[in-house]
Structure 1
């Protein structure tokens, strides 16, 4: 009917405007269509912290501007516990330095695919990245078509 479920975690006070989703293991498994990622982004989610991700879902995240962060199970569990105990506290993800900072100031390093990271930092998707290389593509085409043995 379109009514919000008051008990759903993202509808509760302190969580309703979250941009980071803290999940568990195998997040996104079975959600291989890009629409799953688009829906999360449209909702306002910019990053997901989890123990693991479905492979296709994780790739789709990076292609569509959503940062998947993988951390050890005990770290994710501790972060979730801390957020549950104090709704509205701040969890920070520093993509440039590849680290998560919890509300207590504890820092957890992570790594993400370098190409995906550079695209996210630049605000580019794969099409934007390709278009940023258009001058180089045009130069290559001019060079190849003017070469003596070109077909």
Structure 2
């Protein structure tokens, strides 16, 4: 069910030997992402429940879901990039069907994120699912 872009991340993770390399990989994915326009960093796009500042700006065009995002923490920017690979360009009606915890477990993220980061990741997923459910 996961998008090809996410499957590429899974394959890259299998290639990397240890978590430090995987951690750097996630951060690099975040670094390569374009920054969210400051005009979109408003209370309506801010995700509550994250230890760092996080903004998600969803878009639905032609029945397909995508989002842009940003954070003031590099690892969280990387997690946003991973979620973009999982969800972007998916039919909006399919977004809520994705078992994000199971997909992300394939990367072993649950074992290597702090409790605060895990809570923030769950909050981002819930925001994505909520927007998609409203639009569907």
Relative to the length of structure 1, the TM-score reads: 0.26
Higher helix share: 2
Structure having greater relative contact order (Cα 8 Å, sep ≥ 6): 2
